[in-house]
Amino acid sequence: MRMRRHARYGLLSVISILLLSALPATQFNKPSQRFPYKEEGLTDRQAAAHLLNRFTYGPKPGEIDEVLSVGLEKWVDQQLNGNIQDQALADRLRDYDVLSMSNAEINRNFPRPLQVARLAKAEGIITDDSLQVKDEKKYRQVLSDYSASKKFRPQAEVFRQFFNAKVMRALYSKNQLHEVLTEFWFNHFNVSISKRPCALFVPAYERDAIRPFVTGKFSDMLLATAKSPAMLIYLDNFSSTGDNDGFDDGRGARRLELAQNRLKKGDTSANKIIRQFQQARKNKGLNENYAREVMELHTLGVDGGYTQQDVTEAARVLTGWTLYPMEDGPGSVFLRLFERFGEENLMKRGFVRDGDFLFAMSRHDDRSKTVLGKTFSGNGGYQEGVDLLQMLASHPSTAKFISRKLAIRFVQDDPPASLVDKMAKTFLETNGNIREVLLTMLQSREFWSPRAIRSKTKSPFELVVSAVRALDAEVEAPFQLFTITGWMGQKLYHYAAPTGFPDQAAYWINSGALLNRMNFGMSIASQQIRGIKVNLLELNQQHEPESAEDALMTYCRILLPERDPAPTIRRLTPVLTDPSIQGRLQMAPMNTKKAQAKPDEDDVVEILSEQEMARQKKLQERAERQTQLMLAQVVGILLGSPEFQRR
């Protein structure tokens, strides 16, 4: 994508000063049943607009009326249920076959280059000598031909489909709240494509461990994420092992002793057993990464009352949580074990399989542990980990931590303690029912208070998607929008730290970021982004504004519905009236009205010379271009305005 900057972008330095100014709070006027927005002075339309700004990726034209026709409470119920039929979105995603593939299918169809080389070598296509790459070009061609014959596909296609689907769902899904919550919970249980070993597992992670649970029980989502290959690899728990020497009830040490005695007597076959135990011990090691983050970031919070000893003990509880083996993929270390003993026998010995998850009893620390005062006997195997996660999910510190994080996302950056306490109480009373926690939030006056209205700053992704939705644009190249979001500082699915992206205005807003946002507004309004179609006149029912000032008022009401336009008009009018900017806008005078058609217009047209008709056509085309240029400038400035940055 190329975003061309014309001379008129010189106005950005002027606008950036305006953008940095704080917006005054807007006052509202008047009453409801379940949702107490009228007690906080909001009209029905203002309340609907507020809901759309918080529970969707921004209102589309006419959507406020749709919410009012359904009723606010019923609309919220529909969004919480998240099961509105959406064939139009399904049609848009039909060609994205990766979205329905299992991890094993992705691993098989999109192998890494080294996997391809190993497979080609196993089939005799290449040899060890060729691996020395004497003729690199020929070597690559051989592997390319081999991949084509096996119908292998490049891994980049996995991510392109995944990213495109993310954008399309945010833009067009009728179940908007589920899309918003999917982003929220993915960010909460963050994994990153930037860690290459877990990258191919990220699409299934979002689909299987996040999406099904976004309004369900928190404990279910916690368990699903803990068992997902993406999380197991991202936070290294797949390799965490205890001091259990085998899966044979503690008899491993005796077997090693017998093997050593056999070797002393000259039985060299015992070397194999000894090497196996040496390798097993080499591979052993407790990894505390997941145990630490599951307490600090996923459940209790940094001030949740746990100690470093609790982290270590929790890590011991979670030893043996790893991946079910995939052919020439993650977990393949267990293939020989399964071949030797058989899956059924291993399950009888305490192993547990659930899809791609494997609990390996041979790696589990089978001694007693104590976490947050609760003792785990050591002989509970897989269930110890389940019980630990359930304990964390239902802890009072978790209730407060999760409730505050939800309030930050949906209410304001520093939510009132009174609201967080009410939400946390519901969390504990309903065993972590996310739907009920959100309803408690909506039934609280704090959600509707003037302090909360438009207090949140949009992230780059929220800005991009809300702009496209507000313009009712048609998107044929969603990857362009994904790229732009990254260009503005939010490369989705790539945030390396387990914290996920911060949800605070200070993280997103500075002078450089504001200029980037204005550039985006100008580019999309002037149709400079390939694959994004915008019809600005259609937004206003094909009515041409009389002037730039008229256009500013008109499109301010369209793009910023149910907001007082006066502050925005005052802030942006100088941009349009500045003489140097007027020259760059290249706008023709807009105060001359079009001539009215005469009764005998058809007859007149017939006698016009071809040259005159051509001249009039050029004049009309020029006028249309000038109108489009003027509208693009006005809309671009509005999309970059402080008010549009808020939701």
**474 DSSP β-pair partners:** 533
Q: Quick one: three-class SS letters along 214-256? A: CCCEHHHHHHHHHHCHHHHHHCCHHHCCCCCCCCCCCCHHHHH
The per-residue pLDDT for 186 is 99
Q: Is the pLDDT of residue 134 over 80?
A: no
Report the chain's mean pLDDT, rounded to a whole number.
86
Q: Is the pLDDT of residue 444 over 90?
A: yes
- Give yes or no: residues 382 and 458 share one domain: no
Least confident of 136-150, 211-225, 352-366: 136-150
Between 541 and 35, name the one with better pLDDT. 35
- Give yes or no: residues 615 and 499 share one domain: yes
- Token representation of residue 492: 């989705």
- Give yes or no: residues 589 and 480 share one domain: yes
Residues 643, 564 contacting (CB under 8 angstroms): no
Q: Is the pLDDT of residue 613 over 60?
A: no
> pLDDT grade, residue 279 (50/70/90)?
low
Q: Is the pLDDT of residue 28 over 70?
A: no
The per-residue pLDDT for 70 is 97
- Shortest CA distance to 404 belongs to which of 488, 299, 327? 299
Among 393, 413, 436, identify where a domain stops.
393
- Give yes or no: residues 387 and 461 share one domain: no
- Token representation of residue 523: 């580019």
> pLDDT grade, residue 280 (50/70/90)?
low
- Shortest CA distance to 321 belongs to which of 252, 381, 234? 381
Residues 392, 367 contacting (CB under 8 angstroms): no
Highest mean pLDDT among 418-427, 503-512, 573-582: 418-427
Average confidence (pLDDT) over 579-593: 39
The per-residue pLDDT for 414 is 98
- Give yes or no: residues 506 and 582 share one domain: yes
Distance CA 500, CA 496 (A): 8
- Token representation of residue 417: 């303690």
| DSSP conformation letters of 10-22 | GGHHHHHHHHTSP
Least confident of 100-114, 208-222, 245-259: 245-259
> pLDDT grade, residue 603 (50/70/90)?
very low
* pLDDT digits 0-9 by tens, 67-78: 999 999 999 999
- Shortest CA distance to 305 belongs to which of 417, 237, 400? 400
Q: Is the pLDDT of residue 250 over 80?
A: no
Q: Is the pLDDT of residue 227 over 90?
A: yes
b/e 262-286 (16+ beta carbons within 10 angstroms → b): beeeeeeebeebeeebeebeeebeb
The per-residue pLDDT for 620 is 57
> pLDDT grade, residue 140 (50/70/90)?
confident
Q: Is the pLDDT of residue 132 over 70?
A: no
The pTM is what? 0.84
Distance CA 590, CA 549 (A): 10
The verdict on residue 616 lying in a domain is yes
- Give yes or no: residues 491 and 561 share one domain: yes
CB atoms within 10 A of CB 249: 12
Q: Is the pLDDT of residue 384 over 50?
A: yes
- Give yes or no: residues 472 and 620 share one domain: yes
Least confident of 8-22, 232-246, 374-388: 8-22
CB atoms within 10 A of CB 88: 10
Q: Is the pLDDT of residue 589 over 90?
A: no
- Give yes or no: residues 600 and 519 share one domain: yes
- Give yes or no: residues 550 and 631 share one domain: yes
The per-residue pLDDT for 521 is 95
CB atoms within 10 A of CB 305: 12
Q: Is 22 exposed, middle or buried (0-12, 13-18, 19+ CB in 10 A)?
A: exposed
Collapsed DSSP state (helix, strand, coil) of residue 354: strand
- Give yes or no: residues 476 and 611 share one domain: yes
**For residue 18, what are the domain limits?**
1-26+454-647
> pLDDT grade, residue 165 (50/70/90)?
very high
Q: Is the pLDDT of residue 241 over 50?
A: yes
> pLDDT grade, residue 639 (50/70/90)?
very high
Q: Is the pLDDT of residue 274 over 90?
A: no
Least confident of 215-224, 229-238, 269-278, 374-383: 269-278
Q: Is the pLDDT of residue 347 over 70?
A: yes
The verdict on residue 176 lying in a domain is no
In the chain, the number of structural domains is: 3
- Give yes or no: residues 460 and 371 share one domain: no
324 φ/ψ sector (left φ>0, alpha ψ -120 to 50, else beta): beta
Average confidence (pLDDT) over 273-287: 66
The verdict on residue 626 lying in a domain is yes
DSSP state of 353: E
Distance CA 215, CA 432 (A): 10
The verdict on residue 539 lying in a domain is yes
Distance CA 176, CA 82 (A): 8
> pLDDT grade, residue 9 (50/70/90)?
very low
* pLDDT digits 0-9 by tens, 63-106: 999 999 999 999 999 999 999 999 999 999 999 999 999 999 99
Between 287 and 17, name the one with better pLDDT. 287
What is the enclosing helix (H) or strand (E) of 371? strand 369-371
Could you give the residue ranges of the DSSP H alpha helices within 430-510?
434-442, 445-448, 460-470, 478-487, 505-508
The verdict on residue 186 lying in a domain is no
The verdict on residue 167 lying in a domain is no
Q: Is the pLDDT of residue 22 over 70?
A: no
Apex 74 CA angle, 73 and 80, nearest 5: 90
Residues 551, 631 contacting (CB under 8 angstroms): yes
The verdict on residue 479 lying in a domain is yes
Q: Is the pLDDT of residue 594 over 60?
A: no
The verdict on residue 636 lying in a domain is yes
Could you give the residue ranges of the DSSP H alpha helices within 58-201?
63-70, 72-81, 87-92, 103-109, 113-122, 136-149, 155-172, 176-188, 196-199
Among 130, 152, 174, identify where a domain stops.
152
Between 23 and 319, name the one with better pLDDT. 319
- Give yes or no: residues 539 and 643 share one domain: yes
Among 393, 426, 446, identify where a domain stops.
393
